[in-house]
Amino acid sequence: MTQKEKENYIRDKISFWQQILKLENWEIDFKIIDKLKIESPYANIEILWDAQKAIVEISERCPDEELDISIIHELAHIVTHPIAMFAEDIISELCEQKTQRILKNEINLKEENAVGKLSKAFLELDSVKKISKNNQ
């Protein structure tokens, strides 16, 4: 896939999954970057909650076959992360510093796990839908 084809593909997939995840009121853009800011194999998302804007960062090393799952995964964070933020706020109010760090880390791990499972499920459903459509 050429760079231009990859950019068009990413743009189309973000738009598609944005509709599926009911994020139509969000302004979501992307950029292909050399190095991600966090330890993630292929993608990251930067979210501006108050403005309802997000930028999906895709590593230029992301293989074409990982683009779909990476895009779905990052967009799913927009849906799930408010729950984690709410829990972290409560923990900040009720727990001492050491306990806060432990619990916040656990919440992040649980959110990442849930987002990973949801992303795989959405991708699998999309594949089944395509197969079903082709068999008609």
Q: What band does 17 get if pLDDT is binned at 50, 70 and 90? A: very high
The percentage of residues in the chain with a pLDDT greater than 90, rounded to a whole number, is: 81
Contact status, residue 57 vs residue 30, Cβ threshold 8 Å = yes
Q: What is the mean pLDDT of the chain?
A: 92
SS3 content of the chain, % helix, strand, coil (to 5): 65, 15, 20
- Please determine, for residue 114, whether its predicted confidence score (pLDDT) is greater than 80: yes
Closest to 78 (Cα-Cα) out of 109, 99, 53, 100: 53
Q: What band does 14 get if pLDDT is binned at 50, 70 and 90? A: very high
109, amino acid identity:
L
Task: Give me the pLDDT at residue 80, please.
Answer: 94
Note the pLDDT tens digit of each residue in 72-99: 999 999 999 999 999 999 999 999 999 9
Note the pLDDT tens digit of each residue in 31-74: 999 888 777 789 999 999 999 999 999 999 999 999 999 999 99
Task: Give me the pLDDT at residue 55, please.
Answer: 97
Contact status, residue 52 vs residue 107, Cβ threshold 8 Å = no
User: DSSP H helical segments within 21-96, as ranges?
Assistant: 67-94
Domain spanning 3-134: which CATH class is it, in words? alpha beta
Q: Where exactly are the structural domains of the chain?
A: 3-134
Antiparallel, parallel or unpaired: β 27-33 and 43-48? unpaired
